[in-house]
Amino acid sequence: MTRRKFTSKFKTKVVLESLKERETTQELAQKFEITPQQINLWKREFLTSAETVFDKGLKSKKTESQEKEEHLLKVIGQQKVELDFLKNALR
């Protein structure tokens, strides 16, 4: 038997259904064809990392600045290589 892989979208859907408490975990497990333990695990993971959801804006800004810095370092490196090449060509 092979292990099934679930997308984050599917996991989120299951966890949100579980948090609504309209159906029991057992009913949801049957509905989505997974074990109740898996639902409880995903729910625990979701609730543990829930407070980081609103921090993503800050992380993306850091990522943008890191990308910009990396780009500038590449340009500097490329210009240094070109200068060294031209210096050697003039000798």
- For the segment 5-26, what is each residue's pLDDT rounded down to a tens digit? 999 999 999 999 999 999 999 9
Q: Answer whether residue 9 is part of any domain.
A: yes
- Predicted confidence (pLDDT) at residue 53 exceeds the cutoff of 90: no
Close Cβ partners of 38 (under 8 Å, ≥ 6 residues apart)? 29
Specify whether 65 is located in the same domain as 29.
no
Domain containing 40 equals 1-48
Describe the chain by its helix, strand, coil percentages, rounded to 5. Answer: 80, 0, 20
Residue 59: per-residue pLDDT:
59
Please provide the distance, in angstroms rounded to a whole number, between the alpha carbons at the two ends of the chain: 69
Specify whether 74 is located in the same domain as 44.
no
At 72, the pLDDT band (50, 70, 90 cuts) reads very high
Number of domains present in the structure of the chain = 2
Specify whether 67 is located in the same domain as 35.
no
